[in-house]
Structure 1
Amino acid sequence: MSLIVLATTNPGKANEFQSILGENFEVFVPLELPFVLEDGETLAENAYKKARGASDYLGLAALADDSGLFVAALDGQPGVHSARFAGQDSDDAANRAKLIEMIRGISDRRAYFATVLCLCAPGTPFDEAIFFEGRCDGELLDHEAGSNGFGYDPIFVPQDGDGRTFGEMTANEKAELSHRSKAISKLRVSLLEKPF
Structure 2
Amino acid sequence: MKTVVLATSNKGKVAEFNELFKEFGLDIKGLDHYPEIGEIPEPGETFLENAIIKAQTVANLTGLVAVADDSGLEVDALDGAPGVYSARYSGEDATPAKNNIKLLEELDGVVEEKRTARFVCVMVAATPDNIRIQSRGEWDGRIAFELSGDEGFGYDPLFFDPELDCVAAKMTRETKNARSHRGKALRALMKQWADFQKKISK
TM-score by length of 2: 0.89
Residue 29 of structure 2 is matched in structure 1 by: 28
- Counting only pairs closer than 5 Å after superposition, residues 119-158 of structure 1 correspond to structure 2 as 119-124=125-130, 129-158=132-161
2:193 is equivalent to residue 175 of structure 1: no
CA distance in structure 1 between the aligned counterparts of 2:196 and 2:122, rounded to whole angstroms: 19
Unaligned runs of 5+ in 2: none
2:190 is matched with which residue? Answer: 188
Is the Cα–Cα contact under 8 Å of residues 135 and 182 in structure 1 kept in the other structure? Answer: yes
- Matches of 1:130 and 1:16 in 2, distance apart? 20
In the alignment, residue 113 of structure 1 is paired with which amino acid?
A: F
* Whole-angstrom CA distance in 2 between matches of 1:187 and 1:71: 25
In the aligned structure 2, how far is the partner of 1:77 from the partner of 1:194? 33
Query: Residue in 1 aligned with 2:62?
Result: 58
C-alpha distance in 2 between matches for 1:159 and 1:79: 21
Decide whether aligned partners of structure 1 residues 193 and 49 sit closer, same or farther in structure 2, where only a CA change above 3 A counts.
Answer: closer
Unaligned runs of 5+ in 1: none
| Counterpart secondary structure, 1:154 | coil
Matched, 1:116 2:122: yes
Q: How many residues align?
A: 192
Which letter does structure 2 place at the counterpart of 1:26? Answer: D
Identify, as 1 or 2, the structure richer in helix.
2
Partner deviation per Cα, 1:48-92 (whole Å, 9 max, x = no partner): 111111111112221111101000010000000000000022100
Contact 1:21/1:185 (<8 A) preserved = no
Aligned twin of 1:9: 9
What percentage of aligned pairs have identical amino acids? 39
Distance, in Å, in 1 between the alignment partners of 2:161 and 2:137 is: 13
2:87 to 83, 89, 95: 83
Deviates more, 1:89-98 or 1:170-179: 170-179
Alpha-carbon offset, residue 192 of structure 1: 4.0
Paired residue for 1:105?
A: 109
Distance, in Å, in 1 between the alignment partners of 2:71 and 2:135 is: 12
Provide the residue aligned with 1:46 in structure 2.
Answer: 50
The one-character-per-residue Cα deviations of 1:103-162 (angstroms, maximum 9, x if unpaired) are 1111210000000111112252xxx632111100000012101111100000001243x2
Aligned with 2:125: secondary structure? strand
